[in-house]
A and B are shown apart, each in its own frame.
Chain A
Amino acid sequence: MLYINCPHCGMRSQNEFSYGGDASVKRPELNKEVSDQEWDDFVYNRKSLRGKHLELWQHISGCRQWIKVERDTATHEIFRTFKADEEVA
Chain B
Amino acid sequence: MTQAFRINNGGLVNREKKLSFKFNGKSYFGYEGDTLASALLANGVHLVGRSFKYHRPRGFFGAGVDEPYAIVQLYRNGETEPNIKATEQELFEGLEAKSVNCWPSVNFDIGAINNFLKIFLPAGFYYKTFMWPKSFWYRIYEPFIRKAAGLGVASTKHDNERYEHKYEYCDLLIAGSGPSGLSSAYAAAKNGAKVILAEDKPRFGGSLLTSDVNIGNQSGKDWAEGIIAELKTMPNVLIKNRSQIFGYYDHNMLVMSEKVSDHLPSTKKYHPNKRLWYIRAKEVLISSGSIERPIVFGNNDTPGVMLSSAAKEYLKVYGVLVGRKPLVFTNNDSGYETAIEFKKHGVDPVVLDTRKNPVSEIIDEAKNLGINIKNSYVVVAAQGYKKVKSADIASISEDKKQLGEIENLQCDCICVSGFWTPTIHLASQSGNKTKFKEEIDAFVPGVSKQNETTLGAANGVFTLDETLKTSFKAGSELSKKLTEKDYEIAIPNVVEKKSSQHDKFWCVPLPKGKNYKRFLDFQNDVAVSDIEIALREGYRSIEHVKRYTTLGMATDQGKTSNLNGLQLVSEIENKVVPAVGHTTFRPPYTPVSIGAIVGREVGKHSKPTRKSPMHEWHEKNNAVFVDAGVWLRPRYYKRGDENLFEASKREAKNVRSNVGVCDVTTLGKIDIKGPDSAELLNRVYTNAWLKLPVGKARYGVMLREDGIVMDDGTTTRISENHYHMTTTTAQAANVLSHLEYYLQLVWPELNVNVVSTTEQWAGAAIAGPKSRDLLQKLFPNSDVSNEGLPFMGYMEGDLFGAKARIFRISFSGELAYEVNVESDYGNLMWEKILEVGEEFNIQPYGTEALSTLRIEMGHVAGSELDGRTIPYDNALEGLVSKKKDFIGKRSLQRSAFTAEDRQRIVGVVPLDKQTSIPEGSHLVKDDKAQLPNPKLGHISASCWSVEYDNPFSLAIMKDGKNMIGQKLFAMSPLKNKVIPVEIVSSHYVDPKGERVRS
A85 to B706, CA, bound (A): 25
Structural contact, B890 and A13, CB atoms closer than 8 A: no
Chain B positions 344-376 with a Cβ under 8 Å from a chain A Cβ: none
Among B249, B252, B253, B890, residue most surrounded by chain A Cβ atoms (within 10 Å): B890
Instruction: Please encode chain A, from 22 to 44, with 1 for each CB lying within 8 Å of some chain B CB and 0 for all others.
Output: 00000110110010000100111
Chain A positions 27-66 with a Cβ under 8 Å from a chain B Cβ: 27-28, 30-31, 34, 39, 42-44, 56, 58, 60, 64-66
Closest to B249 in A: A1
Closest to A44 in B: B706
A33 to B252, CA, bound (A): 48
Closest to A26 in B: B746
A78 to B741, CA, bound (A): 22
A84 to B278, CA, bound (A): 30
Q: B251, B705, B737: which contacts A3 (Cβ < 8 A)?
A: B251
Structural contact, A1 and B748, CB atoms closer than 8 A: no
Structural contact, B251 and A58, CB atoms closer than 8 A: no
Residues of A within 8 A of B249 (CB): 1
Structural contact, A66 and B250, CB atoms closer than 8 A: no
A1 to B249, CA, bound (A): 6
Residues of B within 8 A of A85 (CB): 744, 748
Chain B positions 737-764 with a Cβ under 8 Å from a chain A Cβ: 737, 740-741, 744-746, 748
B280 at the interface (CB under 8 A from A): yes
Structural contact, A58 and B449, CB atoms closer than 8 A: no
Given contacts A30-B683, A39-B890, A58-B737, contact A1 B251 (CB under 8 A): yes
Among A20, A65, A84, residue most surrounded by chain B Cβ atoms (within 10 Å): A84
Structural contact, B891 and A43, CB atoms closer than 8 A: yes
A60 → B minimal CB distance (Å): 7
Given contacts A30-B683, A43-B891, contact A1 B744 (CB under 8 A): no
A16 to B167, CA, bound (A): 14
A35 to B249, CA, bound (A): 44
Closest to B278 in A: A1
Structural contact, A34 and B890, CB atoms closer than 8 A: yes
Structural contact, B740 and A58, CB atoms closer than 8 A: yes
Structural contact, A76 and B251, CB atoms closer than 8 A: yes
Structural contact, B741 and A66, CB atoms closer than 8 A: yes
Residues of B within 8 A of A39 (CB): 890-891
A10 → B minimal CB distance (Å): 12
Residues of B within 8 A of A34 (CB): 890
A1 to B248, CA, bound (A): 10
A75 to B278, CA, bound (A): 21
B591 at the interface (CB under 8 A from A): no
Given contacts A43-B705, A43-B891, A66-B740, contact A84 B251 (CB under 8 A): no
A2 to B249, CA, bound (A): 9
Q: A3, A31, A43, A58: which contacts B253 (Cβ < 8 A)?
A: A3
A58 to B742, CA, bound (A): 12
Given contacts A2-B251, A18-B737, A75-B431, contact A42 B705 (CB under 8 A): yes
B885 at the interface (CB under 8 A from A): yes
Structural contact, A60 and B737, CB atoms closer than 8 A: yes
A58 → B minimal CB distance (Å): 6
Residues of A within 8 A of B748 (CB): 84-85
Structural contact, A58 and B250, CB atoms closer than 8 A: no
Closest to B682 in A: A30
Residues of B within 8 A of A43 (CB): 705-706, 891
Residues of B within 8 A of A84 (CB): 744-745, 748
A30 to B280, CA, bound (A): 45
Instruction: Please encode chain B, from 418 to 438, with 1 for each CB lying within 8 Å of some chain A CB and 0 for all others.
Output: 000000000000010000000
Instruction: Please encode chain B, from 440 to 481, with 1 for each CB lying within 8 Å of some chain A CB and 0 for all others.
Output: 000000000100000000000000000000000000000000
Given contacts A1-B278, A34-B890, A39-B890, contact A66 B251 (CB under 8 A): no
Instruction: Please encode chain B, from 668 to 703, with 1 for each CB lying within 8 Å of some chain A CB and 0 for all others.
Output: 000000000000000100000000000000000000
Residues of A within 8 A of B891 (CB): 39, 43
A85 to B740, CA, bound (A): 13
B461 → A minimal CB distance (Å): 28
A28 to B706, CA, bound (A): 13
Instruction: Please encode chain B, from 717 to 750, with 1 for each CB lying within 8 Å of some chain A CB and 0 for all others.
Output: 0000000000000000000010011001110100
B600 → A minimal CB distance (Å): 15
Structural contact, A31 and B885, CB atoms closer than 8 A: yes
A72 to B253, CA, bound (A): 17
A3 to B252, CA, bound (A): 9
Structural contact, B737 and A2, CB atoms closer than 8 A: no
Structural contact, B251 and A56, CB atoms closer than 8 A: no
A87 → B minimal CB distance (Å): 13
Given contacts A39-B890, A75-B449, A85-B748, contact A64 B251 (CB under 8 A): no
Residues of B within 8 A of A18 (CB): 737
A10 to B891, CA, bound (A): 38
Structural contact, A13 and B431, CB atoms closer than 8 A: no
A43 to B893, CA, bound (A): 13
Instruction: Please encode chain B, from 216 to 253, with 1 for each CB lying within 8 Å of some chain A CB and 0 for all others.
Output: 00000000000000000000000000000000011111
Closest to A35 in B: B890
Closest to A28 in B: B890
A42 to B167, CA, bound (A): 40
Structural contact, A66 and B744, CB atoms closer than 8 A: yes
Query: What are 22 pairs between A and B in contact, CB < 8 Å?
Result: A1-B249, A1-B250, A1-B251, A1-B253, A3-B250, A3-B251, A3-B253, A3-B280, A13-B253, A28-B890, A30-B683, A31-B884, A34-B890, A56-B745, A58-B737, A58-B740, A60-B737, A64-B740, A75-B449, A76-B251, A84-B748, A85-B748
Contacts A30-B683, A58-B737 known; 19 new A-B pairs at CB < 8 A? A1-B250, A1-B251, A1-B278, A2-B250, A13-B253, A20-B741, A27-B705, A31-B885, A39-B890, A42-B705, A43-B706, A43-B891, A64-B740, A65-B744, A66-B740, A66-B745, A75-B431, A84-B744, A85-B748
Interface residues of A (CB under 8 A from B): 1-3, 13, 18, 20, 27-28, 30-31, 34, 39, 42-44, 56, 58, 60, 64-66, 75-76, 78, 84-85
- 7 closest A-B pairs by beta carbon, nearest first, are A3-B251, A30-B885, A84-B744, A66-B744, A31-B885, A76-B250, A1-B253
